[in-house]
Structure 1
Amino acid sequence: MALAVCLLFDRRTDRLLRALWDRLENLGVPTLKSHTHRRHVPHLSLAVLREWDHDRVQTAVQPLLNEQSAELYFDALGTFRRGRAWLVPAVGVEVLQLQATVVSALRAADAELHRHYQPGRWVPHCTLAPRVPLAALPVLAAAVYDVLPLEATADHAALIDSSTGQLWPLTYVV
């Protein structure tokens, strides 16, 4: 079980990413749409926590968010070990600064951050498919590159429990 601090996308971007999930599913590539509890939403995680006090985390990150949006540009496909495939975003300095600020606030709230979300180790990404078999990568890549590039807007944020999909909205982001 993990709790994530996530940037969420505007309606247009969310719709485009869900359409990509649908396309991949129709091609036989399992995506976040059909993964575990099936309540996943397109997102970009700023931090993932292994241990936390929910109220302290929410209190710590809520004031860091304001009413502007973050513009992201997706024009590449990435993979992590164990088959996680994701869109690679070009992010502005404001997103990098927000991630570092969120991590500092979470540390002050005594939350235990997953090692991949430490500043200097964090790789911004938008997961498409969590466990892609090597043989399916060409199918996935062809489908993804048919729709890229994608200009995206993250206009709100949430805390999300990855084990259940429960979402606690936060305010708008940078």
Structure 2
Amino acid sequence: MVASVEMYLDERSSRRIRVLWDQLEELGVQSLRTPHDGRHRPHVTLAVARQLDPHAVAEALAGVRVAEPLRINFQYAGVFVGRVVFLGPAPTPELVAHQAHVHGLLTAAGMASLPLYTPGEWIPHSTVSMRVPRPLLTEALRRCLESLPIEATVTRAAVADYARDIFHEIP
């Protein structure tokens, strides 16, 4: 089980990513539309930990606008180990600095993120599928690439732990 600090995207870009999720589902690839009763939203994750207390996160991030209106431009598709397919935004200095700032505040408050979310290791991404079947990987990537570019603006943020049914918006 994991919990995360997620930044959500504007309605137009979210709709485009949800269309991609639907296309992957039609192909036979489970997208983020399916797990956890469809509660996932298109997002970029800033931090992931085994567990996060949403009130402690809000306290650690007091005074920080996690959902600051960052512009994000998804320009490529990629695959992490385990055939996790994602859309990748350009790692702008603003996006990278924002993630490092949030990570630093959480770490200072004793909430250690998983190593892949450490500044310098973090790869900004929006996951579209957690495990693409090997025979469908090429076609899934093609569909992702055909959906690009997607320009987005961050509009909201939350602490999400779908396994524990936690969803707590943060400013």
Alignment deviations for residues 105-132 of structure 1 (CA, whole Å, 9 cap, x no partner): 1112111211110111111110000001
- How many residues align? The count is 171
Written as runs of structure 1 = structure 2, the 5 A alignment for 1:98-137 is 98-137=98-137
Percent sequence identity is 34
Aligned to 2:131, the other structure's residue is in SS state coil
Aligned to 1:6, the other structure's residue is in SS state strand
Aligned to 1:76, the other structure's residue is in SS state strand
Q: In structure 1, what is the Cα distance between the partners aligned to 2:116 and 2:37? A: 23
Answer whether contact 1:76 1:88 (CA < 8 A) is retained: yes
Which one-letter code corresponds to 1:31 in the other structure? S
What is the TM-score when the length of structure 2 is the normalising length? 0.92
What do you get for the CA RMSD once the two structures are aligned?
Answer: 1.7
Answer whether contact 1:17 1:42 (CA < 8 A) is retained: yes
The residue aligned with 1:5 is 5
Q: 1:87 to 1:63 in 2, by over 3 A?
A: same
Which one-letter code corresponds to 2:4 in the other structure? A
Which one-letter code corresponds to 1:126 in the other structure? S
Q: In structure 1, what is the Cα distance between the partners aligned to 2:68 and 2:8? A: 13
The residue aligned with 1:142 is 142
Q: In structure 1, what is the Cα distance between the partners aligned to 2:12 and 2:38? A: 21
User: Following superposition, which runs of at least 4 residues in structure 1 exceed 4 angstroms of deviation?
Assistant: none
Aligned to 2:50, the other structure's residue is in SS state strand
What is the TM-score when the length of structure 1 is the normalising length? 0.90
Aligned to 2:33, the other structure's residue is in SS state helix
